[in-house]
Chain A
């Protein structure tokens, strides 16, 4: 009996091993921990698999979750690459990353990459205020995210306080305005009856459907919604002050020092920074490409026209947990 069970368990374990092993192609396999969702990057990764003959095993999760996983796994991590939605998560595992070759770093502007060259920006996203023009006129929108604490907007806006982008936005606020002001603002928001979500997409959908008037999200979520629905009513509003509300954040990728397939990992990064992929990001995901010759996403202001505070990922990473604590202390998470 014992034997039977042991055999069964082994068979299962073995089964798992073989399923991963059988997919190994001629170019080998790279293991990617992705803090970006499958909806955003999955199709592009399949294209890479076809073109490069390298299999990509992707583990999807949130960016901090993947960063934490890499930190706990330490040198045993099976991951070759970490692709993060926010610079803060990248910053927290930067010590475990190998500096990238100059040829790769040269592809993206310095301001979207790690100053020490351990990760490189792939796309850039701007914080925006999504609004439903059928319910509120663009001219009447708050001039700054700060005004959302005013009674006028009570119960009319949505936020995703636990989402990485929002946390990065709060991190930026801490760096720019100090912990106290940030805490006060968060408490003001919490007191102003916000509708909270766990992610940005549902906010975009709710604003578009007219269930909400406003939502603090990243600029590309409405475009994703449009891709899914065909047409949308909601629009993006870009804040014009150079503060946390107009923060432009890179998504970035780096190679772990313990990577077992660094060549494969480098080809994946090169692929993501190719003009073809960058065009895909712009056209399909509506994100800003980072390479110089790529066109901006259709219907969006050029990236150079966006005002954004300049903050390093290391700085953002440094206050990440502080931001999370402030959000929790305000009763938002």
Chain B
């Protein structure tokens, strides 16, 4: 009973805001508010960016995953972790890196000029957005392909070879068939990420839905245009999710364990040199350069007497709100995981699908929808941390749900039954048996939520309580106001805080693969 209540308490808040958003946007007679041509233009811009970023991220991510799992590349494990490092740098910080790195006074321009070149132009618009977003997203492709590539059964390849299949055919029938689902889902993830990205496109001035939504929101007293655009973006995201689901081939699960690791491709010394060069450049460009540019800009600004404001209170807020979100989301994920795994309730399945779908919707629209709901129905919660936490639950529940469910699946129900038969109540059983056994999974989920909350910008921007500036919000506002020195410092702090737990999670992820 209690479990169903939790589920109901979760599904309704998850879905209702979006329903309200759609309803609000239609209520006003949309053509009068927004010319259809403008909608089409934004849709095209958004899709062009999404397409390019997906292709770029998949190409780079597949290359790194293949090189670090299927070849005899020296130090493959170290490379595999290094390649995932850009995950600690939010896309809006990468935008800041581009803004502080290029232009006449840019750090990279100065380096270029010192080396006899000319200063680099600021990559505004599509080009800059692609750069920032590809760097932000290719690690996701890498992380999801590595486990898939590690578990290709070499026997399949050998059989195909014995049957006379050529290299290309084997690649298609054996390798792609096995890693296909991972490739697909990571491409979907990258696509949704790009569709949803707000910070990078706004700061680099590429006109997508999210940028337009925020500009309409901030620039007009009439909220309808922003609402309408947000509704359009929600529908677009749903269409992408739906399209992926409908065109997904049926899942063919291969039973049985893979006994041997897959065959390693022997790199020639020239190939090895090429691979190491590629990875070195990639890691340098995606992590080394951003940190160096931010650091150099900050030092240069500070030395030349620019005002830098300490961001310790922002840091405190970011950390505490992220810890809070991690605890709340993890706590809500536990009963839902129990509902899904132990009770195999249809309701649980619906809830899970809802949670995944809703979490895939752009955070800016989550923020806007909850803002509308807050102002309209929940005034006491409006502008409080509670509403912000509702947003975090909406956006991040699956991140905690995934590892918690996986952990719970590993715990035999017999253990809980034995405990009951030994005289312990269900609650006591949960406390003494289930919880200690799923603790690690819950912790991992909480860690993921912590990190994403740390980086989250658009929903926090819209829903934060008065005077509650977090690091992300501060980086956003100082960058868009042009106070790059302060933004650079805040960004460095954010990266430092994220780096440690991220490293722990990523290296664990790759080790377990």
Contacts and interface: CB of A to CB of B under 8 A. Distances in A.
- Given a CB threshold of 8 Å, the question of whether A touches B is answered with yes
Interface of A: 1-2, 4-5, 8-9, 12-13, 15-17, 20, 31, 37-39, 57-62, 64-65, 67-69, 71-73, 76, 78, 89, 92, 162-164, 167, 195-199, 201-202, 204-206, 209-211, 225, 227-230, 320-321, 324, 328-329, 331, 333
Given A1-B335, A202-B482, A227-B307, A9 B389 contact: yes
Interface residues of B, number: 63
Contacts of A205: 482, 484
Interface string B354-386: 000000000000000000000110010111111
B408 to A, nearest CB: 14
A219 B437 CA distance: 64
B2 A2 contact: yes
Q: Which of B215, B220, B301, B334: most chain A Cβ within 10 A? A: B220
Given A1-B3, A12-B328, A12-B385, A202 B221 contact: no
A64 B219 contact: yes
B382 to A, nearest CB: 8
A65 B480 contact: no
A67 B482 CA distance: 24
A60 B216 CA distance: 17
Given A2-B335, A78-B383, A329-B35, A198 B483 contact: no
B482 A333 contact: no
A76 B466 contact: no
Given A227-B307, A228-B485, A89 B465 contact: no
Most buried by B among A39, A57, A225: A39
Interface in B185-242: 202-203, 205, 212, 215-223
A242 B301 CA distance: 39
B375 A58 contact: no
Interface of B: 2-3, 5-6, 9, 35, 38, 41, 99, 103-105, 121-122, 124, 202-203, 205, 212, 215-223, 301, 304-307, 324, 327-328, 331-332, 334-335, 338, 375-376, 379, 381-386, 389, 465-467, 469, 477-478, 480-485
B228 to A, nearest CB: 12
A8 B38 contact: no
The binding surface of chain A is classed by DSSP as: helix
B482 A65 contact: no
25 contacts: A1-B338, A2-B335, A5-B328, A5-B332, A12-B385, A39-B478, A59-B383, A59-B466, A60-B477, A62-B218, A67-B221, A68-B220, A68-B221, A73-B375, A78-B466, A198-B480, A199-B481, A205-B482, A209-B103, A210-B104, A225-B482, A229-B301, A324-B219, A331-B41, A333-B212
A54 to B, nearest CB: 14
A12 B379 contact: no
A162 B212 CA distance: 10
Most buried by B among A4, A198, A201, A205: A198
A2 B7 CA distance: 10
Contacts of B382: 73
A321 B482 contact: no
Contact of A8 (B304, B307, B327, B383): B327
A229 B221 contact: no
B219 A2 contact: no
B334 A13 contact: no
A13 B104 contact: no
